[in-house]
Structure 1
Amino acid sequence: MMRYSVTMNGQSWEIDVDDDGVTVDGERVDAALTSVPGTSVHALRLGTASHRVIAERGADGVWGLDVDGRPAEVEVVDERTRRLREMVVAAGGADGPRPLKAPMPGLVVKVEVEEGQVVEPGDGLVIVEAMKMENELRAEVPARVSKVLVAAGDTVEKDQVLVELVAPEDDEE
């Protein structure tokens, strides 16, 4: 059995996939997913409803989806990765907050924070458009925004630092 934590629009679900099917938050779901070979297009059946899904893998378990023409960003984390993240957060982060870097080249659509703002895990920091999908980049640990290095309309490269973060209790310099 494979277990995943799936988060979309601030809502999370625990999903188990095994030979017998899919369970979402402990409830069995009648579901099937079929891929169109050589494409990112899938047919998803949930009960009697069918959906066309285009899925593009992003960085750090974030997927850009288009479900029946509606774009969405979904974070999918397997159980092992989730446990590792929990251990890092419980330990206070290995080195504290890390700078937010662009996971891929793209265009900054919106900066959701300002310098001095305190953020919590999961809070949106910057929205970057890449491959025609908007990707909301989120805080991983509690932090304070020390510097915003981009603005809406900026083009960014992979691994470019977008926002510098420090531990929330650090004094402002």
Structure 2
Amino acid sequence: MKYFVTLPSGTEHVVEIVEAAGGVLQVSVDGKPVEADAVGQPSNARAGRGATSIKVGGRTIELWLEGTPPDLGVIANGQRFFAKVESERMRIQAAAKPAAGGGGLVRSPMPGRVVRVLVTEGDDVEAGAPVVVVEAMKMENELVAERAGKVKRVLVASGATVEGGAPLVEIGDA
């Protein structure tokens, strides 16, 4: 199965995982083979929440995942970041949907607490502009608009507790 992993910098990597004979995993990143394997039981990390361990290049990495694909919060050996992880199937399904000016909802990538709402209804925003700050996993995360437009609705207030995937701000056409 192919996965498309987009890092916060915007860099995308293609990760392909194939289970070969005997349950051995064959992994490649951007077409280059990588020595990798799952270690122990994966908890419920595949379901978008929990912990697992993987071995990459002979090094064991503790991996915690939080959120709902494609938007995941990741902690790998104490380093925390967000990543967008889409399977090949997700990409095909998304391409089959008619375009509706997507990116209109800014969602929380993981459970947390709203620290600040940076916009109000009626504000004009540019793509990439910060709109909400959410504290998750003891870190503040500035969430940005995926598209330019006008803020139609602010769905949360400072101090609110939100679930992963919860809509926070709706952005419509300018």
User: Is TM-score (shorter-chain normalized) higher than 0.5?
Assistant: yes
Q: Is the 8 A contact 1:55 1:64 kept in 2?
A: yes
Instruction: Give CA deviations for 1:112-138 in whole Å, capped at 9, x if unaligned.
Output: 667211216xx7643423455666655
Q: Name the structure 2 match of 1:164.
A: 170
Return the alpha-carbon distance in structure 1 between the equivalents of residues 7 and 55 of structure 2. 19
Deviation at 1:16, TM superposition (A): 0.9
Q: Name the structure 2 match of 1:4.
A: 3
Q: Name the structure 2 match of 1:119.
A: 127
Q: Percent identity?
A: 31
Q: Name the structure 2 match of 1:25.
A: 30
Q: Describe the SS at the equivalent of 2:99.
A: coil
Q: Describe the SS at the equivalent of 2:68.
A: coil
Question: Which is further off, 58-67 or 13-22?
Answer: 58-67
Q: Name the structure 2 match of 1:66.
A: 75
Q: Is the 8 A contact 1:108 1:127 kept in 2?
A: yes
Root-mean-square deviation (Å): 3.4
Instruction: Give CA deviations for 1:152-173 in whole Å, capped at 9, x if unaligned.
Output: x431445765222112xx4xxx
Matched, 1:145 2:154: no
Q: Describe the SS at the equivalent of 1:154.
A: coil
Instruction: Give CA deviations for 1:54-93 in whole Å, capped at 9, x if unaligned.
Output: 223x1242222211112122221111211232444xx432
**84 and 49 in structure 1: CA distance in 2 versus 1, 3 angstrom threshold:** same
Return the alpha-carbon distance in structure 2 between the equivalents of residues 18 and 51 of structure 1. 20
Q: Which runs of 5 or more structure 2 residues have no equivalent in the other structure? A: 21-25, 45-49
Return the alpha-carbon distance in structure 1 between the equivalents of residues 42 and 96 of structure 2. 38
Counterpart code for 1:144: G
Counterpart code for 1:118: E
Counterpart code for 2:160: T
Return the alpha-carbon distance in structure 2 between the equivalents of residues 85 and 124 of structure 1. 25
Q: Describe the SS at the equivalent of 2:94.
A: helix
Return the alpha-carbon distance in structure 2 between the equivalents of residues 96 and 69 of structure 1. 33
Q: Which runs of 5 or more structure 1 residues have no equivalent in the other structure? A: none
Q: Name the structure 1 match of 2:61.
A: 51
User: Aligned match of 1:108 in 111, 114, 126?
Assistant: 114
User: Aligned match of 2:91 in 82, 86, 103?
Assistant: 82
Q: Describe the SS at the equivalent of 1:41.
A: strand
Q: Is the 8 A contact 1:105 1:155 kept in 2?
A: no
Q: Describe the SS at the equivalent of 1:119.
A: coil
